[in-house]
């Protein structure tokens, strides 16, 4: 969390509070600039972090291993919409078809976290996750399904509190409609068990 200039965020927060007509020095707001700077350091820690470093090199498949589909379901994530700097929170499901290497299962959620921890739009976030796993593991195919609630939709504008957005990104063998359908069915079955 070294890339965030906390002093500038604190100064900008004081200015924002003054711009909406608040007294920055009142008791409830005295520490708000510091709290906002701390929050932003956490929200945006992925800026400048390389998801390929997080993914690592992976482990070679043993001879005779088939390289079947690997699915990590229900990865909780949060990100900040780059249009309004409001959070969107959801679940990612990541599947990949290994070619020669696999990765420790904990690496997949970490890639999602790093890419989500920057100003984002959901559509690009899914594509970036696919690209990182495809490139980093030289996977035969990758599929990412994301389902998220956006506070820019639920708390302002149309105020659709129960609305979510689902996006799908895929590459390689998992871009094939038949292959993709099988994986989507496996992911969907996860919620029924």
Catalytic annotation, pick one of 7, 15, 30, 82: 82
| 193 classed as catalytic | no
| 45 classed as catalytic | no
Catalytic annotation, pick one of 22, 45, 84, 131: 84
| 82 classed as catalytic | yes
How many angstroms separate the CA atoms of 173 and 97, rounded?
8
Which stretches of the chain are assigned E, i.e. beta strand? 59-60, 70-81, 87-97, 101-102, 119-120, 141-150, 165-172
93 annotated to bind ligand: no
State the DSSP string of 99-114. SSEE--TTHHHHHHHH
84 annotated to bind ligand: yes
| 68 classed as catalytic | no
90 annotated to bind ligand: no
DSSP 56: -
| 160 classed as catalytic | no
For the chain, the straight-line distance linking the first and the last C-alpha, in angstroms and rounded, comes to: 38
Number of Cα atoms under 13 Å in the Cβ half of residue 31: 4
Catalytic annotation, pick one of 34, 42, 83, 160: 83
Catalytic annotation, pick one of 93, 113, 120, 150: 150
Sheet holding 87-97, edge to edge: 119-120, 70-81, 87-97, 141-150, 165-172
- Annotated binding-site residues for Zn(2+) read 81, 84, 152
- Annotated binding-site residues read 81, 84, 152
**Catalytic site positions:** 81-84, 122, 150, 152
């Amino acid at each position: 969390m070294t890339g965030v200039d906390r002093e500038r965020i604190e100064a900008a927060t004081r200015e924002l509070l003054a711009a909406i007509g608040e007294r920055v020095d009142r008791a409830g707001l005295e520490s708000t600039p510091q709290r906002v700077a701390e929050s932003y350091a956490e929200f945006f820690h992925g800026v400048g972090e390389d998801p390929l470093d997080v993914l690592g090199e992976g482990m070679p498949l043993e001879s005779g291993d088939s390289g079947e589909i690997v699915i990590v379901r229900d990865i909780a994530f949060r990100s900040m919409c780059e249009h309004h700097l409001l959070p969107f929170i959801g679940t990612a499901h990541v599947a990949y078809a290994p070619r020669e290497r696999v990765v420790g299962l904990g690496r997949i959620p970490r890639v999602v976290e790093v890419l989500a921890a920057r100003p984002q739009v959901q559509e690009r976030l899914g594509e970036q996750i696919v690209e990182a796993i495809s490139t980093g593991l030289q996977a035969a195919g990758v599929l990412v399904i994301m389902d998220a609630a956006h506070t820019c939709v639920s708390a302002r504008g149309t105020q659709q509190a129960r609305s979510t957005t689902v996006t799908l990104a895929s590459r390689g063998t998992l871009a094939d409609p038949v292959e993709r359908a099988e994986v989507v069915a496996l992911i969907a079955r996860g919620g029924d068990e």
